[in-house]
A and B are shown apart, each in its own frame.
Chain A
Amino acid sequence: MKVDHPYAHRRACLKIVFSLLTVWFAVSFGCGILFREWLDANAPQVGNAPFGFWMAQQGSILCFVLLLVIYAVLMNRLDAKHGYTEGK
C-alpha cells in the first residue's frame, strides 16, 4: 500500500471540497436566485416549469443529494489511495 505525506491527501481533499462547493453555489444561489429571472425567460423549461423556479424548488435539492454521493465516493477512494481506509 502506498503511504504519502498527509499534505498530499489534504491538498487532494481540498480540491474535491472546492469543486463541489462551486457546483453547490452554482445550482442553488446561481440558478435559484441570482440568475433566476434570466433562466426563467431564456433557458428551456423543465416539463412545464420555468427553469430557474424549478431549480429553486426541486433541481437544487436533487443536486445536493448527488453532490453528497459524489463526495462520499471520491473521498473514500482518496482515503484508500493514501492508505487511510479503516477496517470493516
Chain B
Amino acid sequence: MTQDNLNFIFIGISFALYVGIAIKSRAGSTEEYYTAGGGVSPLANGMATAADWMSAATFISMAGTVALSGYDASRFLMGWTGGFVLLTILMVPYLRKFGKATVPDFVGDRYYSKLARAVAVGCAIFICMTYIMGQMRGVGVVFSQLFGISITSGVIIGGTIVFFYAGLGGMKGITYTQVAQYSVMAFAYTIPAIFIAMALTGNVIPQLGLIGNYTADAEVVPFFQKLNNINLELGFQEYTSGKLSKINMFCITAALMCGTAGLPHVIVRFFTVKNVGAVRKSACWTLLFIAVIYLTAPAIGAFSRVNLIQTLHQTSYTDAPTWFKDFEATAQMAWVDKNGDGKIQYFGPAKSDLNSNSVFQGKAPSYPMYDAPEGQRIGAFGQRLLANKADGSNPNELWFGNDIMVMANPHMAGLPMWVIALLMAGCIAAALSTAAGLLLVLSTSISHDLMKKIIKPDISDLEEVRYARFASFVALAVAVYFGINPPSQFIAKTVAFAFGLAASSFFPTLLMGIFSKRMNRAGAISGMLSGILFTFGYITYFQFLDGTPDQYFLGITPEGIGFVGMLINFAVAFVVSSFTPEPPQEVQDMVEQIHIPSGAGDASHH
C-alpha cells in the first residue's frame, strides 16, 4: 500500500462521515438553520466551536511559528485562548439571554438604531470574508498536494463540499459535522507529537517532555538548554527570550484576546445551546478542547525545530533524507548552495551584518519554467534550482515555510504511513470546519441582518432561509475567486484587520451595551466609528501604503493596534454619551433583563 492510497482511504472515510452526518441532521426551519434549534448539548457544542475556531492556518502553521520565534509566539498562544475567558465571563451568557440569532441583532436592538446595525453587519461581513478567503486557499493547497491537481481545481472542489453541507445543512448540519472534524483534528495533531516526544525526550506526554530532558544524544541535558544552545550557535535569538518590545507584545496579546471575544462567528456558536447555564458549561468544554491543541503546539514546535536542525544542518544534499526532496518538489522547502560545498547550512540573522537570514531575494521561492534548459532547473547535486537570485549577504542556505514543522514532523520522526494519512485528513477537517462556520455567519448576516432587518422586513421565514442559501452561494463564489487569485500578500495581512476590527468595534460596543445602562445610540455609534477608522487607517497606512516601522505609534505594530483602537472607542463612547440624552426606558429595562440568567426572570420581582 502506498502513501497516496492510504491518504485517499483516510480522507475518503472522513468525508463519507461528514456528508452522512450533514444529511442526517440538515436544517428544516430558520431556527435550525441559524442556531440549530437551540438544542445542542454543551459538550457537542464545545467540540464544534473548537473545530470552528481552529482554522487550517492554526492547525498547519501555529507550531511552525512557535518553532521560528520561540517566546515571541506566546502572543498567539495566550491571545487565542485567553480571549475565551473574556468571551465567557463578559459576553456570551448575556447575549444568549438576550436571545436573538446574530450579533448585529443585539447591536441594532440595544442601540435602537439601523445605522448601528448596518455598521455591525458591515464589520461582520468583512471579518468573515477575510477569514474565509484564507481557508479556501488552504483547502486548495492541501487538495492540490494530495491529488496532484492544480490549486484552482482544489479550491473549487473544496468550495463545492463546503457549500453542500454548510449551505444546505445550516447550523445544525455543521455543528454535528464539526464534532466529527474536531475528533479527527485532535488525533491527527497529538499522535505525531507523542511519537516525536518519545524519540527526543523519552517522555510519552509532549508537554512533560518539553520541560524535561533531551535524551536523544549520549549526553542528557535539559531540553530548553539544548534548544537555546542550538539557536545561539546558529545565530538565532535565544529560544526562551523574545525580541519584541514589551509594550508591543502586550498590545498584540490584548488585541488578539479582545478580538477573539468580539468575533461574530465565535459568539453565535453559543446561541445553539439551551440556556445560560449550558452556555457556561459549553464554554468550559470549548476552551478545554482548544487547549488540547494549543498546549501541544509549543511542544511540536520546539521538538521539530531541534529535529530539523539536527537532521539537515551541515548534511550534504546527496545524503539528505528523501522527505526533504519531496518538500523541495512542492516548493515548501528550498536549498540554495551559496558556498558551493554541497552541504546544507542553516543560520540565523546574527551571522550577517544586515541582520537578515534570507536565502534568496523575494518572499517566496519561484522556479524556472518546466521547459527551461536542464542546467537552469537542476543543480550540481541534483537539487531543485530557484529562479530567485540568491541573497549573498548572509550564509543561510535553507528556506522553509511555517507549515513544514507540522507537515514534515511525521516524516522527520520516521512515523508509520497511517499517521501521515491521518494528518492530511486533519488538515482538511480544520479547513472545512472553519470555512463552514464562517460561511454560515456570512449568509445569516446577509439574509437576516441585511435583508430581513434593513432592506425587506416583510419576507417570510422560508424566503429568509432561501436568501441565506443563496447568500452562502454568492459568498462562497467570492471566497473561491480570492482563494484562486489571492491578492498577493493580502491574506496574511488581513489577519491583523480581522482581529483589529473585532477588538476595536464589536468588543467595546457589546461590552458597554451589556454592562452600561447609560450607554446610548450616539455614544455607541461615534465610539464604533472612531475605533474602526483609527484601526483601519493605521493598518492600511503601514500594510498597504508607505508607512515605515520607525513611524509606529509607541512602537506598536499593526497587529496590536486594535487594542489602542479599542481604548479610543471606549473613551469616545463615554464622552459622547455623557453629553447626549440617555436611552429610552424600554432599552434600559432590556439591559436589566439580560443580567437575569433565567428565562423566566420576571418571576423574581416582588
- Chain A residues engaging chain B, CB cutoff 8 angstroms: 3-6, 9-10, 13, 16-17, 20-21, 24, 28-29, 32-34, 36-37, 40, 46-50, 53-54, 56-58, 60-62, 64-65, 67-69, 71-72, 75-76, 79, 82-86, 88
In angstroms, Cα B87 to Cα A68, docked, is 10
Q: Decide if B283 touches A56 in the complex (CB within 8 Å).
A: no
6 A-B pairs whose Cβ atoms sit less than 8 Å apart in the complex: A28-B78, A28-B253, A29-B253, A56-B74, A71-B280, A75-B277
Contacts of B85 in A (CB 8 A): 20-21, 24, 64, 67-68
Q: Decide if A46 touches B82 in the complex (CB within 8 Å).
A: no
Asked if B318 is an interface residue, CB under 8 A from chain A, the answer is no
Please give the distance in Å from A22's CB to the nearest CB on chain B. Answer: 12
Beyond A32-B253, A68-B88, 14 additional contacts (C-beta under 8 Å) are A24-B85, A29-B250, A46-B211, A47-B208, A49-B224, A56-B78, A58-B298, A60-B82, A61-B291, A68-B85, A72-B284, A75-B597, A76-B277, A84-B601
In angstroms, Cα B477 to Cα A59, docked, is 42
Q: Decide if B298 touches A75 in the complex (CB within 8 Å).
A: no
In angstroms, Cα B224 to Cα A53, docked, is 11
10 smallest CB-CB distances across A and B, nearest first, come from A47-B211, A48-B222, A56-B74, A84-B598, A72-B280, A57-B298, A49-B211, A53-B240, A68-B284, A61-B81
Contacts of A3 in B (CB 8 A): 603-604, 606
In angstroms, Cα B220 to Cα A49, docked, is 15
In angstroms, Cα B249 to Cα A67, docked, is 23
Q: Decide if A64 touches B291 in the complex (CB within 8 Å).
A: yes
Q: Decide if B223 touches A48 in the complex (CB within 8 Å).
A: yes
In angstroms, Cα B257 to Cα A29, docked, is 11
In angstroms, Cα B359 to Cα A40, docked, is 34
Q: Decide if A71 touches B604 in the complex (CB within 8 Å).
A: no
Which of A24, A32, A33, A83 counts the most chain B CB atoms within 10 A?
Answer: A33
In angstroms, Cα B46 to Cα A69, docked, is 13
In angstroms, Cα B287 to Cα A48, docked, is 26
Q: Decide if B595 touches A6 in the complex (CB within 8 Å).
A: yes
Asked if B578 is an interface residue, CB under 8 A from chain A, the answer is no
Contacts of B287 in A (CB 8 A): 64-65, 68
Against A, the Cβ 8 Å flags (1 = close, 0 = not) of B246-260 are: 100110011001000
Please give the distance in Å from B296's CB to the nearest CB on chain A. Answer: 10
Please give the distance in Å from B481's CB to the nearest CB on chain A. Answer: 37
List which B293-333 residues lie within 8 A (CB) of chain A.
Answer: 294-295, 298
Please give the distance in Å from A38's CB to the nearest CB on chain B. Answer: 12
Please give the distance in Å from B215's CB to the nearest CB on chain A. Answer: 12
Cβ contact of A71, chosen from B78, B89, B598, cutoff 8 A: B89
Q: Decide if A61 touches B84 in the complex (CB within 8 Å).
A: no
Asked if B194 is an interface residue, CB under 8 A from chain A, the answer is no
Please give the distance in Å from B38's CB to the nearest CB on chain A. Answer: 13
Please give the distance in Å from B367's CB to the nearest CB on chain A. Answer: 37
Contacts of B241 in A (CB 8 A): 37, 40, 53
Contacts of A49 in B (CB 8 A): 210-211, 224, 240
Asked if B275 is an interface residue, CB under 8 A from chain A, the answer is yes
Asked if B233 is an interface residue, CB under 8 A from chain A, the answer is no
Q: Decide if B283 touches A68 in the complex (CB within 8 Å).
A: yes
Closest to B66 in A: A57
Q: Decide if B89 touches A62 in the complex (CB within 8 Å).
A: no
Q: Decide if A13 touches B595 in the complex (CB within 8 Å).
A: yes
Which of B225, B277, B595 counts the most chain A CB atoms within 10 A?
Answer: B277
In angstroms, Cα B88 to Cα A65, docked, is 11
Contacts of A82 in B (CB 8 A): 604
Cβ contact of B89, chosen from A6, A17, A34, A76, cutoff 8 A: A17
Contacts of B599 in A (CB 8 A): 86
Q: Decide if A53 touches B294 in the complex (CB within 8 Å).
A: no
Cβ contact of B81, chosen from A5, A10, A64, A88, cutoff 8 A: A64
List which B250-283 residues lie within 8 A (CB) of chain A.
Answer: 250, 253-254, 257, 274-277, 280-281, 283
Which of B283, B288, B298, B603 counts the most chain A CB atoms within 10 A?
Answer: B298
Contacts of A32 in B (CB 8 A): 74, 78, 253
Please give the distance in Å from A39's CB to the nearest CB on chain B. Answer: 12
Contacts of A57 in B (CB 8 A): 66, 71, 73-74, 77, 298
In angstroms, Cα B600 to Cα A84, docked, is 8
Contacts of A68 in B (CB 8 A): 84-85, 88-89, 280, 283-284, 287
Asked if B213 is an interface residue, CB under 8 A from chain A, the answer is yes
Q: Decide if B280 touches A76 in the complex (CB within 8 Å).
A: yes
Asked if B212 is an interface residue, CB under 8 A from chain A, the answer is yes
Contacts of B93 in A (CB 8 A): 75
Contacts of B592 in A (CB 8 A): 6
Contacts of A40 in B (CB 8 A): 240-241
Asked if B90 is an interface residue, CB under 8 A from chain A, the answer is yes
Q: Decide if A50 touches B240 in the complex (CB within 8 Å).
A: yes
Asked if B207 is an interface residue, CB under 8 A from chain A, the answer is yes
Against A, the Cβ 8 Å flags (1 = close, 0 = not) of B480-501 are: 0000000000000000000000
In angstroms, Cα B291 to Cα A54, docked, is 15
Cβ contact of B596, chosen from A20, A24, A71, A84, cutoff 8 A: A84
